Structure 1
């Protein structure tokens, strides 16, 4: 058991020595996020060390394929593979292996890794480059006399605010190249301020601009036209109603009374004829009876004349 314990101690010591050696030979110096404004010329540095024997920049841009820049001290030679002229050494790689990007643009966004080999060991440093695009500020008055602030084609999207509080909600429109246009309309009411100030906040720099808007004449004319049209319609309907009411009253006054049914003399004759017939019949019957009575009362041997 004691011999086994003695064997483990040299093994642990060897492992620690190997780990320390590896740490000394290869050192990774973090992951860095950097940003640069479009059009500027940022510089990316390698880990500071002396006695460099070889330096390599490995670049993976957002647009295009990967490229490399290399330097070998033993041959005092540099080489480049698929890198554009905008990416090059800052000065001399034997003195300063930093990388300079001239006139940086959106296409340069991506990862940049420096691998340096020196007598002290190997060193790595990686950058993630983000390009900032300041928006174009435009402030104008719309057709109704309201101030409108536009922050066009910014990256990232700009923040718009007004010196006076406004209840407007900014509208964003994205573009294919990653930029964003933001539009905000000043809609505060009940203010007597003649000048309105728009403030655009952006990582590439803040901007502000003021404007004085007046109610548009076109808008005033349009409103007056709408009111006049509405009044004309009401007046026209009132005139129609007035004449209709007057017409109804005139028709009511001039309406002739209902005529009674015409009385025909023939109707009177028709009404009298039954009575006349009845009287005639009565007279006939009366005469017959009278004749019979007279005949009965006559002396015997006398007969009534027929």
Structure 2
């Protein structure tokens, strides 16, 4: 009779509470055990069950002031029963997600509290344009998965990618065929907070900030180099044509020699100006205007010795027949 009555009283006093607790990664979490005063407490124990880890147990006996740890190695989880029976996690990491149970025994009854700790990771949001009036909105590495909405609504496709650490990347690609839609807004909804970004649609234009094709860049470089080569070849060809014309005029003027003074000078310079190699070298080393002026001033002023023309010393004279 007394044994049955004692069992009934304990079951009446025993209280159990289950709580879902959400904390963002990097923040501090405090898990309360009970409001029972420490003076009345005889035993408090925390049992921590995390993914892929053995159960960690932290216990404290009030009568002996003894604290024990079993399979507990995470220094971010602290338990100070001499101050409070609560458990503290600082900072919270993804690996801390799991179940935390506190059992507290006191002179006037027992108390049991169970937490399911959910670790939240805010996603990184991006929004960019794609081709054909299409925009792509991403919520990268969030925990749990974010929800994406558009304003105005378009023709959308949404996909998810799951990562090994439990985070999820969600991206939504939307296209607007209505040309009256000039700007759109993407909203990312998450337990850690909501974000919105807007972007303008640019019909008929390449997407701003979208990288150009590598093949197109190579084509531009090749066209530029081809233009440079053509300009150089054109310049060289022009110089040769211009130089040849001046030589022809000089030889023609020398052969016709319309006045007596010119004919007298012709006798003194004939060996020089009839030398083909000499004329070609002089034309290469000077502009057409300089050669023509030098030649005419030379035979108008009178004959000069052969040593006045250094270019003749490197090759024998070639007299035109």
TM-score by length of 2: 0.58
User: 2 CA distance for matches of 1:72 and 1:191?
Assistant: 73
Q: What is the Cα deviation at residue 85 of structure 1?
A: 0.4
1:134 to 122, 125, 129: 122
How far 1:63 moved relative to its partner? 3.8
Q: Please state how far the C-alpha of 1:108 moved relative to its aligned partner.
A: 0.9
Within the candidate set 39, 42, 55, 2:26 is matched to 39
- The corresponding residue for 1:213 is 201
Deviations 1:64-87 (A, max 9, x none): 222122222223333323321011
Q: 1:166 aligns with which of 154, 163, 166?
A: 154
Are the aligned partners of 1:63 and 1:107 in contact in 2 as well (CA < 8 Å)?
Answer: no
Please tell me whether the aligned partners of residues 133 and 177 of structure 2 are also in contact (alpha carbons under 8 angstroms): no
1:59 and 1:177 map into 2 onto residues whose CA distance is 20
Paired residue secondary structure (1:23)? helix
Secondary structure (helix, strand or coil) at the match of 1:170 reads strand
How many residues are paired up?
Answer: 206
* 1:81 alignment counterpart: 70
SS at match of 2:8: helix
Aligned partners of 1:121 and 1:17: how far apart in 2? 14
Runs of 4+ deviating beyond 4 Å: 216-219
> Partners in 2 of 1:97 and 1:191 — Cα distance?
64
For structure 2, the residue ranges without an aligned partner over 5 or more in a row are 208-212, 214-321
Aligned to 1:70, which of 55, 59, 68? 59
Deviations 1:272-294 (A, max 9, x none): xxxxxxxxxxxxxxxxxxxxxxx
| SS of residue in 1 equivalent to 2:175 | coil
Separation in 2, partners of 1:216, 1:67: 62
- Deviation per CA, 1:259-304: give whole Å up to 9, x if none: xxxxxxxxxxxxxxxxxxxxxxxxxxxxxxxxxxxxxxxxxxxxxx
The one of 32, 36, 45 equivalent to 1:56 is 45
The DSSP-based 3-state class of the residue aligned with 1:186 is: strand
Q: Structure 1 209/130 Cα, relative in aligned 2: closer, same or farther at 3 Å? A: same
Q: How does 1:109-124 map to 2 (within 5 A)?
A: 109-124=97-112
Name the CA distance, whole Å, in 2 between partners of 1:133 and 1:166.
28
1:30-53 Cα offsets, whole Å, 9 max, x none, are: 322222221111111112112112
Alpha-carbon distance in 2 for matches of 1:58, 1:120: 22
1:148 is aligned to 136
